[in-house]
Amino acid sequence: MHQRIIGITGGIATGKTTVSNYLSKVYALPILDADLYARSAIGSELLSLLVKRYGQIILDRDRNLDRSQLANIIFQDRTERDWLEGQIHPYVRDRLIDESVRYAPNTVVMVIPLLFEANMTDLVTEIWVVACSPEIELQRLIDRNQLSVEDAQIRIAAQLPLAEKIDRADIVLDNSGNLEDLYAQIDRSVQ
């Protein structure tokens, strides 16, 4: 039996978590979250590499990774972002594959914000892009991450343009309106 693997992506702060939480709660679908796997990829070995590369500035008072400091570095420099993603993406890919096999043949949802950028489209059988207007995306990111307009724009620009993701999607979920409208779109898409 063929396993259905729904790949959820979209712009930063467009509502991917809202969609995956709904699919988990209402349809009891397992959610495989690439961001969670990326966080777990930074163990002591990679943390040592990061400190060697960037210095103590990326550590907090307790000598743990200060993710906001690391983000400031990698979102300012494409070469550094590429290097870090090269360290993390193979681990994330392996975790996504292992977990999807564990649930087979049942449907799973892979939430992969960098689905296209990380060349992981081969892991999914269909691609859902969560989208909203650029103005809403910017404001949500500013509010969620407590960023300046400039820093939010840099993070949005670091990803593939949302229009390109939409062009490559099997399903586009417009999250510019209210939650009830978004949930109705999800209900139609999951059937």
Place of tokens 């590429």: 82
Q: What is the mean pLDDT of residues 37-61?
A: 91
Question: Which pairing describes strands 126-131 and 31-33: parallel, antiparallel, or unpaired?
Answer: unpaired
Q: Tens digit of pLDDT for each residue in 140-163?
A: 999 999 999 999 999 899 889 999
DSSP secondary structure, 80-119, as one string: HHHHHHHHHHHHHHHHHHHHHHHHTTS-EEEE-TTTTTTT
- Rounded distance, CA 45 to CA 128, Å? 34
Specify the pLDDT at position 75: 87
Residues belonging to the chain? 191
Distances (CA, A) of 73 to 5, 37, 70, 166: 33, 21, 5, 28
Query: How many Å separate Cα 138 from the centre of its chain?
Result: 16
Of 3.40.50.80, 3.40.800.10, 3.40.50.300, 3.40.50.970, the CATH number of 5-39+89-190 is: 3.40.50.300
Q: Tens digit of pLDDT for each residue in 124-140?
A: 999 999 999 999 999 99
Q: Tens digit of pLDDT for each residue in 91-121?
A: 999 999 999 999 999 999 999 999 999 999 9
- Rounded distance, CA 121 to CA 22, Å? 22
Name all contacts of 152-155 with Cβ < 8 Å and 24+ positions apart.
Answer: 154/75, 154/76, 155/12, 155/71, 155/75
